Structure 1
Amino acid sequence: MSQPQLIARRYHDHCHGLEFASASLDYDARFLRRKVIATDDGQSVLVDLSQTTSLNDGSALILEDGREIRIQAAPEQLLEVTGDELMRIIWHIGNRHTPCQIEANRVLIQHDPVIQDMLGKLGASVREVTEPFTPEGGAYGHGRTHSHAH
């Protein structure tokens, strides 16, 4: 990656029509404060936000000149979880503070052999898939769930 000449210090939850480029980032890479990222066409961008931020699919980083870089959830290796007792399975996933994307008939989680083994013992059907990952936000607001107090 070349030395970044583009700098983004702000973001929006969605693009406002001034899209300059896009950047496909997996779930972990969308959690950032100060980092150089690459756009999908290979341009380097220094992201320098005032605080650590969880960017969602469809968010926009705002360049200093007002142009926007659309953030897209990149495909990544996940586990697709299904089963007859999906609600009970979801409870066990949540009890381990595991980010999950909840859909009508399945749940997607990041690949984790320990959780995969546990889910199999609970009777879940688990298979590996490669898809974009957009997990639910935290119960106490938007974004990641790992920083709450008990």
Structure 2
Amino acid sequence: MSAPLPVAREVVRDAGAGDARIALTYDARLLRRKRLTAAEGLEFLADFERAESLRHGDGFSLDDGRVVVVEAAPEAVLEITGDLTRLAWHIGNRHTPCEISDTALYIAEDPVLHAMLEQLGAHVHRVTRAFSPEGGAYGHGRTFGHSHDHSHD
């Protein structure tokens, strides 16, 4: 009979070095319950009360005291250059996750957005890189609707 898997029920923000590492794409970094395997072969279960959005550098805090640090895995994205302010507005208007640098914008591959951005004068290239879009305006990580700690009265 094999030993039970270590379980992660908490996320450590900015976890540091940790005991093991796991590379996950942007989509895979949003999870609630999943069996995972770190690069070093350590198998564990992520079992959170609600869905968690993990960033590069966050960690899974295992019930045996170890921490597995999350790395943003390379994935296919669109690199967008041109009038970044104008292009960012159009991307944001479509509620598309976007990573912003001084020289380019990055979004997940999307043929419709690719065509729209080129029509707006952008230079769009398919690249493979780690993808870490900006978090939501009302809290850490991704936003799951418009919930925050104030009223609109």
TM-score norm. by structure 1 comes to: 0.91
Report the CA distance between 1:146 and its aligned residue. 4.6
Query: Distance between the aligned counterparts of 1:115 and 1:4, measured in 2?
Result: 45
State the number of aligned residues: 146
CA distance in 2, matches of 1:143, 1:80: 21
* Structure 1 residue 43, shift from structure 2 partner: 2.9
- What corresponds to 1:10 in structure 2? 10
Compute the displacement of 1:16 (Å): 5.2
Amino acid paired to 2:59: A
Q: What is the CA–CA distance in structure 1 between the aligned matches of 2:102 and 2:121, rounded to whole Å?
A: 18
> For 1:104-143, what aligned pairs fall within 5 Å after superposition?
104-143=102-141
Q: Percent identity?
A: 48
1:88 alignment partner, one of 86, 89, 96: 86
On the 8 A contact 1:57/1:73 being kept in 2, the answer is yes
Partner of 1:78: 77
Distance, in Å, in 2 between the alignment partners of 1:112 and 1:36 is: 29
**CA RMSD in angstroms, aligned pairs only:** 1.8
Q: CA offset at residue 4 of structure 1? A: 6.6
- TM-score normalised by length of structure 2: 0.89
Q: Give the gaps of 5 or more residues in structure 2.
A: 148-153
Give how far 1:86 is off. 1.4
Instruction: List gaps (5 residues or longer) in structure 1.
Output: none
Runs of 4 or more consecutive aligned structure 1 residues displaced over 6 Å after TM superposition:
none
